[in-house]
Amino acid sequence: MNSEFQRCLDNRKLTEFKPAADLIGKELRAAEYDILRARSSYDNKDPKWATIQAYYSMFHAARALVFHKGYREKSHRCLLVALVELYVDRGELAADITESFQEAMDMREHADYGFIYNDQTAQKIIKNADNFIKIARKLLKIK
């Protein structure tokens, strides 16, 4: 077990739980909603909000994946750690997918707190979020 994963468990930023049957689907629907809103914001010349919404679409898809493995996060960083432990380290997900999630997390923080964003980063995060959602659906066997 990865030491960061263990630290998240020890600090209760990641806990084991049994999700309700519809919770994973609910998270994927939230991911789909947020990516649609991100595209709309981008089209309306709002790259800051598009960046934030695209990140949250990835966040909800990541939650669905982690819920599927029987864990719940209480930290964005521990959500990333859980994805690596539960999917990448077990060969179910390519490392570059979690790297794009990490990058999106950083872009969202820069946009939200540092007011650093632009059209190019918004486009990139939207593209990566689309891919992330598709991969999550495939892993969860949800069309």
Residues 53-104: tens digit of each pLDDT: 999 999 999 999 999 999 999 999 999 999 999 999 999 999 999 999 999 9
Q: What range does the domain containing 76 cover?
A: 3-10+21-140
Distance in angstroms (rounded) separating the CA atoms of residues 38 and 32 = 10
Give the CATH number for residue 44.
1.20.120.330
Tell me, yes or no, whether 38 lies in a domain: yes
Tell me, yes or no, whether 123 lies in a domain: yes
Tell me, yes or no, whether 16 lies in a domain: no
Is the Cα torsion angle 141, 6, 8, 78 positive or negative in sign?
A: negative
Tell me, yes or no, whether 15 lies in a domain: no
**Number of domains observed in the structure of the chain:** 1
Give, in order, the Cα–Cα distances in Å from 95 to each of 3, 86, 88: 18, 12, 6
* pLDDT at 134 > cutoff 90: yes
* pLDDT at 19 > cutoff 90: no
* Mean pLDDT of the region 2-12: 95
* Mean pLDDT of the region 10-17: 96
DSSP SS3 for 15 = strand
Helix 23-43 × helix 119-140 angle, to 10°: 160
